[in-house]
Amino acid sequence: METSILIIYTGGTIGMVNDPETGVLCPFNFNQIASEVPELREFGFTIDNIALPEIIDSSDLRPSLWTDLCRLLVDNYDRYHGFVILHGTDTMAYSASALSFMLERLGKPVIFTGSQLPIGKIRTDGKENLIAAIEIAAARQDGIPLVPEVSILFGDRLFRGNRTTKINAESFDAFQSFNHPPLAEIGIHVHYNRDAILPVPSSPLPPFAFTRLDASVAILKIFPGIPAGVIDAVTRVPGLRGLILETYGSGNAPTRPEFLDKIRRALDAGITIYNVTQCAGGSVEMGKYETSRELLRAGVVSGRDITTEAAICKMMRVLGEYSDPDDIRRQLDANLRGEVSLNK
């Protein structure tokens, strides 16, 4: 089969051009991408594109978009060698994380990219990002895709999607993956870091999209002096099933009974708590300090070196599939899609 890539446009800065009449930035007609990026013709293979019915600034993202994307990917899976999803940068790390958990048995590249400057601007970073993403989405050796996983391409690096965080609101190097090496580095040549890339799944079955996410979740970032009422307000949300607790350093939290009692009460109420560090790099190590030992004893699950973006999406996915608290804890504790390092 001749190489073919599908670009899926969801919105974000990359798709903006200046309205010729008003000069205001507005989404461009994605069907005309070839006139906006004529370089695409030089690939010499099929590049199709689809725009989602509703083009959004990614700050308006809702989980239903992930479901739509998964369905599109599964429905078109056999027809394309790889997929490039154009997405706003603000929540790209959430979407890439979510899709990594929702897509079972993915064996082809799904690459998210976007840009800091609109594609219609002369200095745009969008063209290079798009072109590099297409090149990597099409890259195969002996018929096997080089990067058969959900990733984010930005600037001169390709990262595992569920390891990535947006770290800069202006720089062309807007993303970073602190706890996992880049999957590829883009210079004159593209250097693939084979050891860092997930293998193609062994199952011969086609991929499957798990779309029953449960968004009854919250993130609580602790800070010195956090009012008891804030902890109560979050942990007493009716129907809450999962809480990402953003702790200090290697997973440390206050040892005062006022704090710990509220955490224990939430656990007793059936809420699963996942301990994620506020630090950009490094890992939670519960039990290392007295300040995390009590969380461990109470039954909080270690998020190890997971990002907050991946943690919240993993929680939604796991809660969507399991109801037994032990199953939920076991799944959170496991490495499902390369999102955590188990030796941490």
Interface with ligand ASP (CB under 6 A): 11-13, 57-59, 88-90, 114, 116
Shortest separation between residue 169's beta carbon and ligand ASP, angstroms:
8
Which of 125/305 has CB closer to ligand ASP? 125
Which of 12/63 has CB closer to ligand ASP? 12
> Which is the catalytic residue, given 3, 10, 13, 165?
13
Which of 32/59 has CB closer to ligand ASP? 59
Let me know how long the chain is: 344
Which of 58/252 has CB closer to ligand ASP? 58
Shortest separation between residue 327's beta carbon and ligand ASP, angstroms:
34
- Distance, CA of 333 to CA of 327 (rounded, Å): 10
Shortest separation between residue 90's beta carbon and ligand ASP, angstroms:
3
- Distance, CA of 313 to CA of 295 (rounded, Å): 22
Shortest separation between residue 11's beta carbon and ligand ASP, angstroms:
6
SS3 annotation, the chain: CCCEEEEEEEECHHHEEECCCCCCEEECCHHHHHHHCHHHHHHCCEEEEEEEEEEECHHHCCHHHHHHHHHHHHHHHHHCCEEEEECCCCCHHHHHHHHHHHEECCCCCEEEECCCCCCCCCCCCHHHHHHHHHHHHHCEECCEECCCCEEEEECCEEEEHHHCEECCCCCCCCEECCCCCCCEEECCCEEECHHHCCCCCCCCCCCEECCCCCCCEEEEECCCCCCHHHHHHHHCCCCCCEEEEEEECCCECCCCHHHHHHHHHHHHCCCEEEEEECCCCCCCCCCCCHHHHHHHHHCCEECCCCCHHHHHHHHHHHHHHCCCHHHHHHHHHCCCCCCCCCCC
β-bridge mates for residue 276, sequence order: 246
Which of 100/115 has CB closer to ligand ASP? 115
User: Which position's Cβ is nearest ligand ASP?
Assistant: 88
β-bridge mates for residue 253, sequence order: none
Shortest separation between residue 253's beta carbon and ligand ASP, angstroms:
31
Given CA atoms 286, 291, 295, 298 in this order, what sign does their dihedral have? positive
Could you give phi then psi for residue 185, rounded to 5 degrees? -120, 135
* 46: annotated active-site residue: no
Which of 132/295 has CB closer to ligand ASP? 132
Which of 132/267 has CB closer to ligand ASP? 132
Shortest separation between residue 155's beta carbon and ligand ASP, angstroms:
13
Shortest separation between residue 100's beta carbon and ligand ASP, angstroms:
19
| Residues acting as catalytic residues | 13
